Amino acid sequence: LAKTTQPISMDSYEGQEVNITCSHNNIATNDYITWYQQFPSQGPRFIIQGYKTKVTNEVASLFIPADRKSSTLSLPRVSLSDTAVYYCLVGEGGLTGGGNKLTFGTGTQLKVEL
């Protein structure tokens, strides 16, 4: 299983772009990269998933370089409500192999201030 490393915490201000980088040096060929967001006293919520290059949805972008050993979650123009813990996960898509044992690291605590 690919291990991930993220910064423990980050601080930002409203309106800024926030980039959270995750390292996953041992990522396997079949592994996807997925990011989740967790607010206090709630379960994590899916944000975005990608395999390579760039993926964008209505809330975030995910940048994955060619070697796939890292990924960057980009949150444009953050607000106070984006204060949360963000987790990077690496594992196979589907229900085979590592895709079943989806492990969460300690995540990155993002704090957004006025």
Total residues contacting other proteins by CB under 8 A comes to: 24
Which residue, 68, 36, 37, is CA-closest to 51?
A: 68
* Separation between Cα atoms, residue 111 and residue 92, nearest integer Å: 30
Identify residues 73-92 at the interface with other proteins (CB under 8 A): 87, 91
Three-state SS for 108? strand
Which one of residues 9, 16, 45, 65 is an interface residue with other proteins (CB under 8 A)?
Answer: 45
Q: Quick check: 51 binds other proteins (CB under 8 A)?
A: no
Does 7 bind other proteins (CB under 8 A)? Our answer is no
Q: What is the dihedral of CA 71, 112, 15, 63, to 10 degrees?
A: 0
**Considering the rule CB under 8 A, would residue 58 count as an interface residue with other proteins?**
no
Alpha carbons 91 and 101: distance in angstroms, whole number:
8
Q: Which stretch binds other proteins (CB under 8 A): 16-24, 59-67, 74-82, 100-108?
A: 100-108
- Among 43, 58, 67, 114, indicate the residue that binds other proteins (CB under 8 A): 43
Bridge partners of 72?
A: 21, 63
By the criterion CB under 8 A, which residues form the site for other proteins?
32, 34, 36, 41-46, 49, 87, 91, 93-95, 99-107
